[in-house]
Amino acid sequence: MLNKQFSFSKRLLIMVVSLVSLLSFVGAITNYFGASSQIEKNLKEYASQIAGDLAQSSVLSLVTQNSQDAKDAIAPIMNFKDILGAAIFTNENIEVYHQGSFWQKKNTQTVSELQISDTPDSWKIVAPVFLKSSEQNELQFDEPKDQYLGYISLNVSKLSLQKIASELLYRNIITGLIIAIIVGILTAFIVTRLTRPIRELSLIMDQARQAQSYTLAPTNGPQEVQKMASSFNQLMLTLQEQEQNLIDYNERLGSEVELRTQELTQARDSALTALRAKSEFLANITHELRTPIQSIIGYIDLVCEELEFAVMLQEVDDLDKAKKAAARLLNLINSILALAKTESGKMDILLQKTSLLSIIKECETTVHPLVKNNKNTLNINIINDITILTDREKLLQILLNLLSNACKFTEKGKITLSVNCLQKKIIIKVTDTGIGLTTQQQKYIFDEFHQVDGTEQRKYGGTGLGLAISQSFAKLLGGNIKVSSQLGEGASFILELPVAIKHKTYSNQADVL
Mean pLDDT, rounded, of the chain: 78
Contact of 434 with 490, CB cutoff 8 Å: yes
Cβ neighbours of residue 182 under 8 Å, at least 6 residues apart? none
- For 441-477, the pLDDT digits (tens) are 888 788 776 665 544 445 555 566 778 888 888 888 8
Q: What is the dihedral of CA 201, 204, 208, 211, to 10 degrees?
A: 160
For the chain, domain boundaries? 8-131+145-168, 214-347, 348-498
Q: How far apart are CA 88 and CA 302, in angstroms?
A: 170
Contact of 350 with 387, CB cutoff 8 Å: no
Q: What is the mean pLDDT of residues 304-327?
A: 73
Q: How far apart are CA 201 and CA 215, in angstroms?
A: 11
pLDDT of residue 345: 60
455 vs 387 pLDDT, higher one? 387
Q: What is the dihedral of CA 22, 23, 29, 31, to 10 degrees?
A: -170
Nearest to 189 by CA among 9, 22, 19, 8: 9
Burial of 369 (C-beta count, 10 Å sphere; 0-12/13-18/19+) = exposed
- For 74-117, the pLDDT digits (tens) are 888 888 888 888 888 888 888 888 888 876 777 767 777 888 88
Q: How far apart are CA 219 and CA 213, in angstroms?
A: 18
The DSSP annotation for 11-25 comes to HHHHHHHHHHHHHHH
- Is pLDDT of 280 > 80? no
pLDDT of residue 493: 92
- For 415-433, the pLDDT digits (tens) are 999 998 887 888 999 999 8
Q: Does domain 8-131+145-168 have CATH number 3.30.450.20?
A: yes
Q: Enter the CATH code of domain 348-498.
A: 3.30.565.10
Side-by-side strand order, sheet with 95-100: 95-100, 83-90, 147-157, 122-131, 115-118
- For 176-217, the pLDDT digits (tens) are 788 878 877 887 777 777 777 777 777 777 777 777 777 777
Phi, psi of 484, deg, nearest 5: -140, 125
Q: How far apart are CA 243 and CA 256, in angstroms?
A: 20
Contact of 450 with 469, CB cutoff 8 Å: no
Q: How far apart are CA 107 and CA 105, in angstroms?
A: 6
Contact of 51 with 127, CB cutoff 8 Å: yes
Q: How far apart are CA 67 and CA 95, in angstroms?
A: 9
- For 46-66, the pLDDT digits (tens) are 888 888 888 888 888 888 888
Q: What is the pTM of this model?
A: 0.41
pLDDT of residue 430: 92
Percent of all residues in the chain with a pLDDT value above 70, rounded to a whole number: 81
Q: How far apart are CA 419 and CA 395, in angstroms?
A: 14
Cβ neighbours of residue 110 under 8 Å, at least 6 residues apart? 91, 128, 148
